[in-house]
Amino acid sequence: MKHLPFDALMELESGVIDEASQVINRRLSDMPSFFHDQDAVQAQLEEDPVLYRTYVKQNPISSSLWNIGSSVIEPGTVGNEYFMTKGHFHLKEEAPEVYFTVSGSGRLLLQKHSGEIEVKKMAPGVINYIPGGWAHRTVNVGEKPLIFFAVWPADAGHNYGAIEEMGFSRLVVNDRGVPKIIDNPRYAPGLVK
Ligand code: 6PG
Ligand code: NI
């Protein structure tokens, strides 16, 4: 199969990728169980805020190549927990990924099935390399949208179930205006591979 070049334009202010083949909008009602404060979830469900959007430009040539995309996480909290992505392992576990932050301020939670965890900072210009085998979740700890660019193998896929069941062992919460990493009381390791 012939591999042809392709281009895309990402609007740096908004994070929108033109002619994205997929636009995913995630509201609180798409992921109520992911937040630790279930009373806060119930209270905010009526408003049902958009937590983040992802724009994906799927590789038009072959699923064995690369996808490119961007994510825009809105500022805000559910209770004291910052707006964040669901987080996932790649279905093809060995598939890595690279994030490049364009604007805003965030944290990247990385966790292996073994429970090993790392928390990285996301800020304009920072490049985060996510090796295969690490689940990844991004969290907006700032007051404006967190916008980042991503590139990953087009056949990586997403495994959301493991994180939905098990959670990350750490939460990122707003502690009087300062982001703090705390233990997740609901963390349930070993439930799902
Ligand atoms: C991917 C990327 C990235 C991610 C979004 C939304 O593998 O596609 O990691 O595009 O999907 O930032 O995060 P969730 O997929 O966890 O909702
Ligand atoms: Ni990913």
Distance 134 CA to ligand 2 centre (A): 9
pLDDT at res. 127: 98
pLDDT at res. 21: 87
pLDDT at res. 1: 47
Tell me which residue has tokens 């895309």: 8
- CA gap 32, 168 in Å, rounded: 15
Q: Say how many CA atoms lie within 13 Å of 111 toward its Cβ.
A: 21
Distance 96 CA to ligand 2 centre (A): 8
Smallest CA-to-CA distance from 91 within 49, 54, 133 is with 133
Instruction: Chunk the chain into consecutive blocks of 10 residues (it has 193) and report each block's average pLDDT, rounded to whole numbers.
Output: 75 94 96 97 98 90 80 98 98 97 98 97 98 98 98 94 96 98 92 51
pTM of the model: 0.95
How many of the other CB atoms lie within 10 Å of CB of 84? 26
Domains of the chain: 22-183 (2.60.120.10)
- CA gap 19, 166 in Å, rounded: 35
Distance 162 CA to ligand 1 centre (A): 15
Atom of ligand 1 nearest to the CA of 88: 16
